[in-house]
Structure 1
Amino acid sequence: MKETRLQLAAAALNQTPMDWDNNLQNIKDAITEAITNNTQLLLLPELCITGYGCEDMFLSPWLSEVAFEKLLQIKEWCESITVAVGLPVFLDGKVYNTACVIKNKEIVGFTAKQFLANDGIHYEPRWFTPWPANEVHEFQMLGQTYQIGDIIYEEQDVKYAFEICEDAWRPNRPAERHMPKGVQLILNPSASHFALSKTDVRYRLVVDASKKYQCAYMYANLLGNEAGRVVYDGEVLIAQNGKLIRRNELLCFKNVDMECAEVCFSDNPEIAEVIEYLPPIDENKELIAALSLALFDYMRKSRSRGFVLSLSGGADSSLCAVAVAEMVRRGIESLGLLSFVAKLQMFSLRDAATIEGLTKEGAQRELVNRLLTCAYQGTINSSDETFNSAKGLAESIGARFYSWTIDDEVRGYTSKIEAALERPLTWEQDDITLQNIQARVRAPGIWMLANINNALLMATSNRSEASVGYATMDGDTAGSISPIAGIDKAFIRQFLIWAQQELGYEGLQYVNNLQPTAELRPAKEAQTDEKDLMPFPVLNQIERLAFHDRYSPEEVFNILSEQNIAEPEQLKAWMSKFYSLWSRNQWKRERYAPSFHLDDYNVDPRSWLRFPILSGGFREELAKLKG
């Protein structure tokens, strides 16, 4: 074949479901930037007109109608360029997830997704209908006739086709059919959620496909916290014949992040630039990048003015505080100080000028002070160590810090119930009640601060605690967002050590020398979380084997027995506690504040894992285990 060179571009976009102004502005900015770079073919992410996370709104015909009207606006921006843009199309009572190709202000056709994601956090078959392979139909919309289906396109004699996100993850992927038809370029518009180390899998998917099919492969993902729970890393990849040509920096704070490359198409294409990809991935760096971006988008898209945190001095609330500080540091690094402040949309011009006049470190501390308010709420059971931990961390990052005690409130509620019952409440008889009232009366005061500040209250539950219901409902679970509920306790503890050593958060030195404790029982009992539950590494292993790997209780026991993590009777006791607490506390998980999906699984029933509120509680399975 003759040699053809195409200037290709792919852009990650930070979209929001049904936020038409934002979504179209990002699309327009991407098209404008691509035209400025003399791009001939631009790829935009999956469903970027509507946003991917519209959920059951996709079933409303009007949504697709509005999306089509927006598409007609977009096509007028596509002068002398070809653009692939994603939107739902409603036909004959069915909804199709499509990529529309616009060439020089004309709609060429719609490719419809053939394989729908239906595992983990994905429920696409609830909304969309898969398109059959090798079929192309016509449909009419607003008086015009268009093609939709499994279409092969051409750009300057270079044939190209699509794999839309999940299409590429299946063994019988569309590329298998495209190559015999002379396709030289595959475009993949995606909404591929972030999970720790997932980028490595995605990289291999793209680069290996370009090698196997001897083609160029271009990939564009969504970016940021789109709809509340799911984070997108904004990955852009351009590869050819097994070599990576372009890859962007993931999880940036931009609205549009584009990569461009001139790609040669011939029998023996010239590949001038190659990027070396060097795993392994540092999951601590990945976590804080995803968490900080997720918080930033959640805050600004909910039109909130910062965060409020009940800072206990323990590991979980400390991570939440550091995440806000990192949100500020990374946001400034990604956007520049003025652009970051402007994107917050919460400062006057005078305030922005004041912040701009400070040193880099001073500006970061000032922004953290304005965006994060912390309060330590002590009781007679609290220790000097946790107070010093909370105060020291808040001061080190510049957060606003308050401190008060809640003993009067605890005594008030306790005395009322004692009078009603005509008996005193004792630790011997009323242990859980006396623990819970301390956690629960912390909620009203911290909610007041959140309301006063028009801010988001951060709940501090982690995944390990959520699994066994080790939390007080309407107490430490209270919040607008539960940012670390998708991360296990063991990972959090090692992360905080890493953050102190590698990110320089010296204020973490206090919490890193403490054993996790709820501090709800009298100090003489030396309460710790692991004493109440079990070692967190064991809890996490049981949880993963049971719900990620889907083993039965007997299989979980056999696997852990082979690892010799404990004596058989001790292991059985831990397993019995885990499964009993898990089953008993599904109602709590149903009521937790929204959380981010950060790992390869989570226990959020609105996201990754559904479980009945009422069940048999694994009684037969645990009885069999005990023999």
Structure 2
Amino acid sequence: MVHYVTVATCALNQWALDFQGNYERIRESILQAKAGGARLRIGPELEIPGYGCQDHFLESDTTLHSWEVLARLLQDRALDGVLIDTGMPVLHRNTRYNCRVVILDGRILLIRPKMHLANDGNYREPRWFAEWARVASTEDYVLPRFIADITGQRTVPFGDALISTEDSCVGIELCEELFTPQSPHIAMSLDGAEIIANSSGSHHELRKLGRRIELIREATLKCGGVYLYANQKGCDGDRVYYDGSAMVLANGEVLAMGTQFSISDVEVTLATVDLGAVRAFRAGMASRSTQAAHSSVRYPRIVAGISLSAQQAQFDFSVRPTRPLAPRLHAPAEEIALGPACWLWDYVRRSSLGGFFLPLSGGIDSCATAVIVHSMCRLVVAACGRGDAQVLADVGRVCGESGFVPATAQELASRIFCTSFMGTANSTAETRARARALAAAIGSYHIDVDMDAVVAAIVGLFALVTGRTPRYAVHGGTSAENLALQNIQARLRMLLAYLFAALVPWVRQAGGRPLLVLASANVDEALRGYFTKYDCSSADLNPIGSISKADLRGFIAFARESMGLDVLGGFLDAVPSAELVPFSEDYKQSDEDEMGMSYDELGVYGRLRKIKKCGPYSMFAQLLHEWPGVGPREIADKVKRFFFYYAVNRHKMTTLTPAYHAEAYSPDDNRFDLRQFLYNAQWTWQFGKIDDAVERLERRSGVVIEE
């Protein structure tokens, strides 16, 4: 029997603690879903407070304000007629849970706590939440009084249950639960759940989306049924970028899929599914029917007074089911072009600053960072061309010119992106020329600076105080002298970068806002510790901080063709060099020579150390098989050299510039005080609550309130 149901899954650009903005985006997504004919809408994990609140989840304010947002949704009659699945923290019997709250027509049907928490990599959910351990079981939850006054309910079911509509059955699975061996969707499907809703907060990593799709595809292929996947998108105020890709799958096929990288705030993905096909698919699997008949798990069912299908849908042949499609998977080079670009745009538009400043050295790392900003400008210009109201408003704020609409990426870059080549006598003409040519190609405001006088002043001061003048190694100096002279140049670049970032906008335009300083050290250099502490790798943000040199080279090759930047060929051909010591016919500084290992080797070490959990001995054992052409002694020397430098430079990890997380072997160590580093300084919701309380108290005490 034909049985069509239209469903909606959302990718929302939520922001931790931005309750007002989060509420507006949730409401807009529900209205879009309703306009599209959907009667079931799901959103991202913890979409009301934002997923990345981290230690703010420990504050009672976060839970209170989440309930207040939910109250607005419950009171909004424009949202009636849609079964809404939203997310927030809930305190039950003095225990905090990460919950989905299912509402319909101003009433709460179910509060479903998360049963398996993410606790690895970038995730520390058990720090803030407890797991709900009672499978297929519920108990009464006593609602806050102001919510009970709205809904007319004193208690609601809290726990693990299915939602039974007039024509189907819906199960709920939260993010990490999909990735566990005994995923809840299996038992739910065997007990008759035809639609599984998964609300996620999953971040982007290179090459990760394919695994996500395959897990959902396998779930629906093995169990049958419809699977709705929602996800956060954008920068939540931290290092990770949530990459959207909301999708709907049925019986092993992808029916609809949202974009993975987008700078829009609200994206609703709709699909019309045939529940009759689900029932036929399942009934045709004899082994599934046997397991379902013998399954001991029977879920409580919460009755929802709604039909997900139109009343006459089975007789209306104008209703068309969504056709399957091939999922769109970006190549890693495309992911680098898009993910960090979206992350940077979210950061600059929410930071109240005027753009970016980048020390552009003429090497491939700073080149890659500059091209990512260029990619960001391309995305913004494209969104302006589509008439995206939010992006147009953001452009006006960032550029300080309301109504400004850039026609090209270069025109936008000329307003918000400043690059600078900070050279010394050790810099080559080739690197200076490459930096200048790239700046011209992408349209950045470029400054060419010679720092020799400043370096000489620092060295002169040291000589005046100590009576000794340090020399480079090529001039007979010791290794300590050689390193100190290099570090002076590197650290001066950081000082100058912040000076120019603060004052170049002032020079160019009265009242110009300062710029965010960008770093450009890759993940392999961080792993090896091959950078100067507090040099120009120390900045506000680092778009490439967890991307390998190999992947960056692939990205530059891709950008040269796809973005029409012929100038990038020179960067690909250049030998990576810091250019901090005098060069001659006999000696030219090279990164790989100084590190004593290649960038490709560092990529191997990084994956074995972090992903394969190898210590020195097991890494050595692994490499004996991975590098059969290399002798054991040479492998041993390489492994020991790596772990030595990794150990002595580990202290540098605590000062790494916050970097876009793109690679699972990133050594970023900044995970102690778990609060985001980007806030909405207006605190619209919170300050509004304070103002309301002040007015109430003053009225109660008889104080005259002046208008």
Greater displacement, 475-484 / 414-423: 414-423
**1:250 and 1:19, CA in 2 relative to 1: closer, same or farther beyond 3 A?**
same
Partner of 2:664: 600
Partner of 2:704: none
Partner of 1:540: 603
**1:337 and 1:475, CA in 2 relative to 1: closer, same or farther beyond 3 A?**
farther
Q: Is the 8 A contact 1:310 1:374 kept in 2?
A: yes
Q: Is the 8 A contact 1:589 1:604 kept in 2?
A: yes
CA separation in 1, counterparts of 2:409 and 2:403? 12
* Structure 1 residue 496 corresponds to structure 2 residue 560: no
Q: Is the 8 A contact 2:384 2:392 kept in 1?
A: no
Partner of 1:268: 280
Deviation at 1:302, TM superposition (A): 1.8
Greater displacement, 559-568 / 414-423: 559-568
CA separation in 1, counterparts of 2:266 and 2:609? 40
CA separation in 2, counterparts of 1:33 and 1:411? 63
Q: Is the 8 A contact 1:10 1:260 kept in 2?
A: yes
Matches within 5 A, 1:175-214: 175-214=185-224
1:245-275 deviation per Cα after TM superposition (whole angstroms, max 9, x unaligned) = 1112211111111111222223337994333
Partner of 1:14: 13
Larger Rg: 2
3-state SS of 2:255 partner: strand
1:274-294 deviation per Cα after TM superposition (whole angstroms, max 9, x unaligned) = 333267741111121111101
Q: Is the 8 A contact 1:341 1:347 kept in 2?
A: no
Matches within 5 A, 1:344-363: 344-346=395-397, 352-353=403-404, 355=405, 360=407, 363=408
Partner of 2:464: 419
Partner of 1:550: 613
Deviation at 1:573, TM superposition (A): 3.3
Deviation at 1:110, TM superposition (A): 0.9
Partner of 1:526: 588
CA separation in 2, counterparts of 1:112 and 1:554? 42
* Structure 1 residue 479 corresponds to structure 2 residue 480: no
Q: Is the 8 A contact 1:228 1:298 kept in 2?
A: no
Deviation at 1:368, TM superposition (A): 0.9
1:345-393 deviation per Cα after TM superposition (whole angstroms, max 9, x unaligned) = 426796634x45xxx4xx3211011111001111010000100110000
Deviation at 1:56, TM superposition (A): 0.9
* Structure 1 residue 310 corresponds to structure 2 residue 359: yes
1:143-172 deviation per Cα after TM superposition (whole angstroms, max 9, x unaligned) = 331211101102223111100000111111
CA separation in 2, counterparts of 1:280 and 1:152? 33
Q: Which residue of 579, 585, 599 corresponds with 2:643?
A: 579
Partner of 1:379: 424
1:58-77 deviation per Cα after TM superposition (whole angstroms, max 9, x unaligned) = 11122112101111111233
3-state SS of 1:352 partner: coil
Partner of 2:246: 236
Partner of 2:119: 118
Partner of 1:469: 529
- Normalised by the length of structure 1, the TM-score is 0.92
Pairs aligned (count): 602
Partner of 1:622: none
3-state SS of 2:280 partner: coil
- Normalised by the length of structure 2, the TM-score is 0.82
Question: Which amino acid is the alignment partner of residue 56 of structure 2?
Answer: M
1:449-493 deviation per Cα after TM superposition (whole angstroms, max 9, x unaligned) = 222341110011111111121111221222100111101112212
1:588-611 deviation per Cα after TM superposition (whole angstroms, max 9, x unaligned) = 111111111112331111359x9x
* Structure 1 residue 342 corresponds to structure 2 residue 393: yes
CA separation in 1, counterparts of 2:251 and 2:270? 17
**1:233 and 1:115, CA in 2 relative to 1: closer, same or farther beyond 3 A?**
same
CA separation in 1, counterparts of 2:392 and 2:641? 48
Q: Which residue of 164, 168, 181 corresponds with 1:154?
A: 164
Q: Is the 8 A contact 1:224 1:253 kept in 2?
A: yes
Partner of 1:140: 142
Q: Is the 8 A contact 2:17 2:49 kept in 1?
A: yes
Q: Is the 8 A contact 2:204 2:240 kept in 1?
A: yes
**1:335 and 1:171, CA in 2 relative to 1: closer, same or farther beyond 3 A?**
farther
Q: Is the 8 A contact 1:243 1:274 kept in 2?
A: no
Partner of 1:439: 490
Question: Which amino acid is the alignment partner of residue 453 of structure 2?
Answer: D
**Unaligned stretches of 5+ in structure 1?**
611-627
Q: Is the 8 A contact 1:75 1:105 kept in 2?
A: yes
**Unaligned stretches of 5+ in structure 2?**
146-153, 282-313, 315-319, 506-513, 675-707
Partner of 1:109: 110
CA separation in 2, counterparts of 1:148 and 1:569? 61
Partner of 1:619: none
Q: Is the 8 A contact 1:3 1:265 kept in 2?
A: yes
Deviation at 1:130, TM superposition (A): 0.5
Identity of aligned residues (%): 28
Partner of 1:47: 46
Deviation at 1:496, TM superposition (A): 1.2
Question: Which amino acid is the alignment partner of residue 378 of structure 1?
Answer: G
Partner of 1:625: none
**1:351 and 1:388, CA in 2 relative to 1: closer, same or farther beyond 3 A?**
farther
Partner of 2:284: none
Greater displacement, 458-467 / 136-145: 136-145
Deviation at 1:344, TM superposition (A): 3.1
